[in-house]
Structure 1
Amino acid sequence: MVMLKDDERLDYLLAEEMRIIQSPSVFAFSLDAVLLAKFVYVPIQKGKIVDLCSGNGIIPLLLSTRSKATITGVEIQSRLYDMAKRSIEYNGLDLQIQMIHGDIKEMPKQLGHGKYDVVTCNPPYFSTPNKDEINENEHLAIARHEILCTLEDVVRVSSQLVRQGGKVAFVHRPGRLLDIITLMRQYRLEPKRIQFVHPKPGKDANTLLIEAIKDGQPDLKILPPLFVYNENNEYTSEVNEILYGK
């Protein structure tokens, strides 16, 4: 049994035999998080993974299906932290995944420098807008806008947490690509793999997946583009497989 609060619901995690607590007014995961969890390299057997800006725990839950590594999620919003914790317990994963309620900027001090094999983050995409432009729903505003952490915070903290030779992966917007690469190199993260995600063939990319190695050698691969929908507005076979399995 799981305790649901207010307008929360228990959703199936698509291809996985798992459930996740969601709330339309607080947080529901997007395709971006699912794509990042599929894109990033993870050690299969052992290791340590940390996911920053975890929201309701979607990325730690999905990564647990690909790796036996210990996974730590970090979320600053108490309501989302609570949802993630209950989802992890519901799925019987509390021995593999732990959630921390805290600010990512405090994590190098709290968790230690260079201790993680992989760092993932689906950060807020938009720079802080004027007050009248911010979503009136505080939970959604913090998840979408750089109110409590900036892109530089995310890159700097990721670099501090990951070990030398470890991997850092983000999902973001293509418009921030140069900012991301500039900041990654500033903080000793060498971009190694990039994939652009397009709504459908013929449309501009609207999502970017990028993975870097701490102190890696320059050698960037641009992967084939990923299209979400086909001409009939149905999921492409690639996305269908990511979401629902083979």
Structure 2
Amino acid sequence: MANPYFQFKKFTIWHDKCAMKVGTDAVLLGAWVNLADCKNILDIGTGTGIIALMLAQRSTGDIDAIDIDNDACIQAEENVKASPFAERIRVIHAACSEFAGSVTRKKYDLIVSNPPYFINSLKCPDDKRSVARHTDSLPLSELVENACSLLSSSGRIALVLPYEQLEEVESIARKNSLFVSRQTDVIPVPGAHPKRLLIELSAVETDTTNRDTLVIEESRHQYTPEYIALTKDFYLKM
């Protein structure tokens, strides 16, 4: 039986009620994102609340964390309340489009998301897990469009995606007058093709895009110095 919780250095993530469990993608994004000048932060599709909690640990900003799934919100709320960062995180049960269309919406300096990623695959029998994993519940184009309406004039959107979606997200960014300001290609082991993409879209045009690569493992369970440096403030054994 899988462990119902995951222990980080400064907080615990229970994921027994949540469709999507703690995974590398969320940890990568939470550790990688640029938090400079971020007073108001939005986490879209918060799930267990892991990314919101990581950003709270790394910053002094106020964070709104939304999810369409009520059970996920209940779990995230429990994880937040048990953490040292409860006063700065607000969990909200809402769909992305509903939240973006609310009359009282505020503008955010940073919007983050680890969005659904399965496009043309069979849906799993667990409806909640299916919603959490399949893009038809929140297409990337809809996610970015809604995020744009919530973004401050100098705000940024940070995403973790399958690498195969690079061209798609670049096209969506152009249609929404956003610019790729930072990109990290995530490679599982040396010599392999990139599997994940960490990408930052900015409302402000930049002269150049900061591009680099991150290799996770040198060999099985032997993490690279770069990955250790990125995640050491979170993982217990790093």
Residue 29 of structure 2 aligns with an amino acid whose one-letter code is L
Q: From 80, 85, 98, give the equivalent of 2:77.
A: 85
**1:206 to 1:79, Cα distance in 2 relative to 1, 3 A:** same
SS in structure 2 of the partner of residue 134 of structure 1: coil
Residue 18 of structure 1 aligns with an amino acid whose one-letter code is F
SS in structure 2 of the partner of residue 11 of structure 1: strand
Deviates more, 1:194-203 or 1:25-34: 25-34
When the two structures are superposed, what TM-score results if normalisation uses the length of structure 2?
A: 0.90
**1:204 to 1:111, Cα distance in 2 relative to 1, 3 A:** farther
Question: What is the rounded CA distance, in whole Å, between the counterparts of 1:188 and 1:217 in structure 2?
Answer: 12
When the two structures are superposed, what TM-score results if normalisation uses the length of structure 1?
A: 0.87
Partner of 1:23: 16
Deviates more, 1:197-206 or 1:119-128: 119-128
Residue 226 of structure 1 aligns with an amino acid whose one-letter code is L
Please tell me whether the aligned partners of residues 49 and 69 of structure 1 are also in contact (alpha carbons under 8 angstroms).
yes
Where do 1:171-182 residues align within 5 Å?
A: 171-182=160-171
**1:213 to 1:75, Cα distance in 2 relative to 1, 3 A:** same
Deviations 1:122-161 (A, max 9, x none): 10012264xxx10111222111111321011111011111
**1:28 to 1:217, Cα distance in 2 relative to 1, 3 A:** same
Deviates more, 1:31-40 or 1:201-210: 31-40
Structure 2 residue ranges without an equivalent (≥5):
none
Please provide the CA RMSD for this pair: 2.1
Partner of 2:226: 238
SS in structure 1 of the partner of residue 136 of structure 2: coil
Q: From 46, 55, 63, give the equivalent of 1:54.
A: 46
SS in structure 2 of the partner of residue 95 of structure 1: helix
Deviates more, 1:161-170 or 1:17-26: 17-26
Structure 1 residue ranges without an equivalent (≥5):
1-6
- Provide the identity percentage: 24
Q: From 129, 133, 140, give the equivalent of 1:140.
A: 129
Please tell me whether the aligned partners of residues 6 and 12 of structure 2 are also in contact (alpha carbons under 8 angstroms).
yes
Deviation for aligned residue 1:162:
0.8
Deviation for aligned residue 1:164:
1.1
4+ residue stretches of structure 1 with deviation over 4 A? 111-114
Partner of 1:124: 116
Partner of 1:11: 6
Question: What is the rounded CA distance, in whole Å, between the counterparts of 1:112 and 1:208 in structure 2?
Answer: 33
SS in structure 2 of the partner of residue 98 of structure 1: strand
Question: What is the rounded CA distance, in whole Å, between the counterparts of 2:220 and 2:92 in structure 1?
Answer: 42
Deviations 1:5-64 (A, max 9, x none): xx8833212xx31111112873312111111112211136x6100010111101000000
**1:204 to 1:21, Cα distance in 2 relative to 1, 3 A:** same
